[in-house]
Amino acid sequence: MKGQINIMGNNIPVNVLDKYITIYTSGFSTAYLSTGGKGSVLRQVLNYLKKNGVIYFDKLWLRTESYAGGNSMTCYVIGEDEKSKDIMKSIIRMFEYGKFNPMIDLYEYDTDKLELHLDTGMKVGISTKYNFLYSNPPYDVKQYEVA
């Protein structure tokens, strides 16, 4: 399914596999995007920005996880510069639907939520609870041993 997302003033075209989208039709149509689909969208956004010269990195890995009480996306990059790292941090932060406040031991939800606009006219939320960015390869890849 095709759609687009607006990040940093760029309307970025996104393709989402049907296996990631669940459409509910009970009175009105609503769609839900799985955590894997949200990771796919983030990967496409970062690759689009790299292709257009906004950010730079040599290699990107993205891991998603769903668990009781939430979900998360973890992005690993190598070969990025400081400017690109700062931009990627801000983009990955846009994909979170809130943040944890340890002073009061409470997860606080943001009012601004990032949405994917599908070509069918539906809007799909693409935020996850926690997102992380690391400047090294993940443990389960060959590049980890080299680094």
- Per-residue pLDDT tens over the stretch 131-143: 999 999 898 887 7
- For residue 112, being part of any structural domain is answered with yes
Q: Choose between 146 and 34: higher pLDDT.
A: 34
- For residue 7, being part of any structural domain is answered with yes
- For residue 58, being part of any structural domain is answered with yes
pLDDT-derived band at 29, boundaries 50, 70, 90: low
- For residue 146, being part of any structural domain is answered with no
Instruction: State how far the Cα of 139 lies from the Cα of 78, in Å rounded to an integer.
Output: 13
The percentage of the chain sitting over the pLDDT mark of 90, rounded to a whole number, equals: 75
pLDDT of residue 121: 87
- For residue 144, being part of any structural domain is answered with no
- For residue 80, being part of any structural domain is answered with yes
The answer to whether 75 and 92 have CB atoms below 8 angstroms apart is yes
Give mean pLDDT, residues 116-130.
91
Contacts of residue 130, defined as CB under 8 A and 6 or more positions apart, other chains included, come to 70, 71, 72, 73, 96, 100
Helices (H), 33-122: 35-51, 82-94
CA 30 to chain centre: 20
Q: How many folded domains does the chain comprise?
A: 1
pLDDT-derived band at 69, boundaries 50, 70, 90: confident
- For residue 147, being part of any structural domain is answered with no
